[in-house]
């Protein structure tokens, strides 16, 4: 076993499948099954989920909505996704807790670092909803922040492509897939796999990031077991 405690970053879009909006229960069930296979081996897993399948604050702000207001709405969307994923996991017998940075005590625990770590130690999956609780910060930054707080050894960033390329592989079939990059390279070349604040936080705390394709069945397990999957940012080459 390569890792003891990991953080998985899921986009909200990962939950909607081919629907274009909202949540596809079959996709949620598939992701839950993959997570189940990992945690049953004793690996501790925390998850940060985005909300772009329901509401994207940056896009709403560009359309004229107040940015802080738009971001708060987006944070609430992440809580909806977190509860949905919790249900998918518990349907197959995986103990799961949702902790939110925005108080919503009727449906989730408040985020408390020491309690989150205790849940992980008891082999419960912990899903962090509500972003960081602050506008103007992405859920990528939340993932980096929570990973540092809970002493996660690595962040797994689930995407719809095989890793980080030098250009868009959908537009250029000859795009080069990187296997390993430094934090500085990602920042200097503005490779938008995660926002700059998240990358800088990971660099400061020496947390490697593995970027991989979620749509390939079994990729989560292969990445967690230390197989070469996708692109590694930071860590060892």
Binding residues for UMP: 51, 71, 132-139
Distances 120 to 48, 116, 195, 206 between C-alpha atoms, Å:
14, 6, 27, 21
Measure the CA–CA gap between 181 and 178, rounded to whole angstroms. 7
Q: Is residue 226 a contact partner of residue 2, using CB atoms and an 8 Å limit?
A: yes
Longest dimension (CA), the chain: 51
From the annotation, which residues make up the binding site for ATP? 9-12, 52, 56, 159-160, 165, 168
From the annotation, which residues make up the binding site? 9-12, 51-52, 56, 71, 132-139, 159-160, 165, 168
Can you tell me whether residue 115 is helix, strand or coil? helix
Phi-psi region of 136 (alpha: psi -120 to 50; beta: other; left: phi over 0): left
How many of the other CB atoms lie within 10 Å of CB of 2? 12
């Amino acid at each position: 076993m390569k890792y003891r405690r990991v953080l998985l970053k899921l986009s909200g879009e990962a939950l909607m499948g081919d629907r274009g909006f909202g949540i596809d229960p079959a996709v949620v069930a598939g992701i839950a099954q993959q997570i189940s296979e990992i945690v049953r081996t004793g690996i501790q897993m925390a998850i940060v989920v985005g909300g772009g399948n329901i509401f994207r604050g940056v896009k709403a702000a560009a359309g004229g909505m107040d940015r802080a207001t738009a971001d708060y709405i987006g944070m609430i969307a992440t809580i909806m996704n977190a509860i949905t994923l919790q249900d998918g996991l518990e349907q197959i017998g995986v103990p799961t807790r949702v902790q939110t940075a925005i108080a919503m005590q009727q449906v989730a625990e408040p985020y408390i670092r020491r309690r989150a770590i205790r849940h992980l130690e008891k082999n419960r999956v912990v899903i962090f909803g509500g972003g960081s609780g602050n506008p103007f910060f992405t859920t990528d930054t939340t993932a980096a922040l929570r990973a540092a707080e809970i002493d996660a050894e690595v962040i797994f960033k689930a995407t719809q492509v095989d890793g980080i390329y030098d250009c868009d592989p959908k537009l250029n079939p000859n795009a080069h897939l990187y296997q390993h990059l430094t934090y500085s390279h990602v920042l200097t070349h503005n490779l938008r796999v995660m926002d700059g604040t998240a990358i800088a936080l990971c660099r400061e705390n020496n947390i490697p990031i593995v970027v991989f394709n979620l749509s390939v069945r079994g990729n989560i397990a292969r990445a967690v077991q230390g197989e070469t999957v996708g692109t590694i940012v930071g860590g060892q080459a």
